[in-house]
A and B are shown apart, each in its own frame.
Chain A
C-alpha cells in the first residue's frame, strides 16, 4: 500500500524515536525495523531517514557515537536522550488522540 507523503512525514519522527526507545540502533537497521513493524506496508526512501536522524541529533533528542561494524567500516549509532523520551511521550499522546477520534468517527459511520 502506498501511504500518503504527509502521513509518512508526520509519522517518521515518532516511529524513529519509538524504535530507539527499545535500544541503540543505526540507520539501516531502523529502516528494516520499520519495514518489519509495518509488515512491508511502509516503504521509506532510505535516504530520507538520515536528515531526520540528523535533525533529532541537532535538537538533542538523540545522541550518537561511531563504532566499527562487523564489515570493518565505521557505523553511526543513535540512542535516545531524556529529551527524546519526553518528545516521544508527547507524540504518543497526540497520536493516541488522533487514533481514538478516527476510530470513533469510522465506527459511527459503519455502525
Chain B
C-alpha cells in the first residue's frame, strides 16, 4: 500500500509526535497493522507492501516501570487533541484522534486469574494479554520519517499471530491472511530462534497452526 493511500497516516504520525514530546518513544513497541506499515516504510522488509486493514494503533509496553521518571502522556496527548478515555469495565486506556482512529496500550499478563488494571509509568492503564513477551524480546529499532520506533521482528510478529490464532474469533481469518502475506519475507533461522524461546504450550500452539493450515515455517 503506497504512502498516499494509507488512511490516518497523519494521525499515526501525530501520535508518534506526542510520544516523542513525552519522551516515551523508546518505551513502547508498535504492534498490529501499523508495525507492518513500518516494516514497509523503514525498508526492514525489502519490497514488502503492507495491507492496512485495521486502523487502530496498538502499542506494547515492555516494562511498566519505564521510564524511571513518570510521564503524564494523557496531558500531552490532550495538547495534541487526542481524546482520552478509560474503558468502563477494566479501566484500560484508549486515545481517540480524528474520526475512528483509536490508540490502545497492551502489556504481557503476569500470572493467571483476575486481571486488575495497573498504571504504567507513561501514565496509561494498558490491557493485559498473554503471549506478548516474544514481541518485546525480539524487537528492533528502525527509522520512520523523523522518528526512531521500536517494532517486533517480523518473525516474532508472525509467530505471535500463529500462537494466538485460536483465540482471535472473527479476526482469525484476517490474521491468517497476514501470516501468509508475510511468510515469503521471513528469515527461517530467526523463526527457529524464537520458537526455541517459547513455552511448551506456545510451541504446541505454533505446531498446531502449522499443521492445521499446512504452513511450514520451520
The answer to whether A and B assemble together is no
Q: Which residues of B contact A (CB under 8 A)?
A: none
